[in-house]
Amino acid sequence: MAGDFGKFVLQISEHMFSLLKKEIQSFLGSLIGYIVIIVFLTIMGLIMWVFPSDYNVLNNEYASLGPLFSLAPWVFMFLIPAVTMRLFADENRTGTIELLLTKPLTDLQIISAKYIAGFLLVLFSLLPTLVYYVTVYQLGSPVGNLDQGGTWGSYLGLLFLASGFVSIGLFASSLSDNQVISFIIAVFLSFFIYIGFDFVSSLELFGGFDLLVQKLGISEHYGSMSRGVIDSRDALYFLSLIAFFFMLTKLKLSARNW
């Protein structure tokens, strides 16, 4: 009995890994993955190092990666939906979603495999920005005059932010078989959850609950982490956000079986 159960678990793990591998190969086997990485790095590079603005690192009086952590959420708001828009929409369009759901995998395992694939691609796009870190480190006076704790805390906050956007994009992709529609829905939801609650709270419509409304938004928690302040409440917020959109995606997939 125990041996049969172990084989069953191993089979599920193999199917889940195969799905994850398929999604990553699909990204990297087409232009989508490379375009996302190139566009992100090009936009960030031009704004941080070329275009004259307050975000230009070379124009600042001190060495800092602050511009990266300020700009990245806005760039991710469009690039991550471009990554996630095809995850379920393409399956819905081609009809392969029915075949996928017949595999010995639960809905959550399917969602998790696609989520991890999307997150890994975003992570790949972030890794080259470590070159920015080395550059700013060398530009410090003296060399290395950089807030290490704040920088790595900000990177952690950016990873949490990206993980939240990926979960939103995954849910948006499950709503339609049209990738463009999924993209638009994901951008709208990401924008509203990032900054919309701040705007609503500024209207002072809820009295003493305005602060609570503000804390429902990503911006409040990401802003805290981007200052290098690692608070368990901020981490719990992002984990709850991911779990919430996982649940919505699972409900959407389960609805196909009714």
Name residue, tokens 């003296």.
Answer: 142
SS (H, E, C) 154-209: HHHHHHHHHHHHHHHHHHHHHCCCCHHHHHHHHHHHHHHHHHHHHHHHHCCCCHHH
What are the pLDDT digits (tens) for 185-198? 999 999 999 988 77
Which tokens is 168 given?
Answer: 């939103």
Identify the helix (H) or strand (E) that includes residue 236.
Answer: helix 232-255
Q: Is residue 251 part of a domain?
A: yes
d(CA 11, CA 5): 10
> Does some domain include residue 71?
yes
| Residue 92 lies inside a defined structural domain of this protein | yes
pLDDT tier for residue 7 given thresholds of 50, 70 and 90: very low
- Give the domain range for residue 46: 17-255
Is 2 inside any structural domain? no
pLDDT on residue 15? 66
Over residues 43-77, the pLDDT tens digits come to 888 888 888 877 777 777 676 778 888 888 998 99
Evaluate whether residue 210 is within a structural domain.
yes
Considering its fold, how many domains does the chain have in total?
1
Helix 66-94 with 179-191: angle, nearest 10 deg: 150
- Between the CA atoms of 90, 244, 124 and 161, what dihedral angle is there, to the nearest 10 degrees? 130
12 domain-assigned: no
Q: Locate tokens 């709208």: which residue?
A: 188
Predicted confidence (pLDDT) per residue in 149-188, tens digit? 778 888 888 999 999 999 999 999 999 888 899 999 999 9
| Tokens standing for residue 147 | 């807030």
> What is the rounded CA–CA span in Å between residue 99 and residue 227?
46
On the question of pLDDT at 9 being above 60, the answer is no
pLDDT band at 144 (very low <50, low <70, confident <90, very high): low
Is residue 119 in some structural domain?
Answer: yes
DSSP 217: S
Give pTM, 2 decimals: 0.86
Residues in CB range of 253: below 8 A, 6 or more apart:
101, 107, 110, 111, 174
Domain for residue 46, yes or no? Answer: yes
Burial class (CB in 10 A: 0-12, 13-18, 19+), 96: exposed
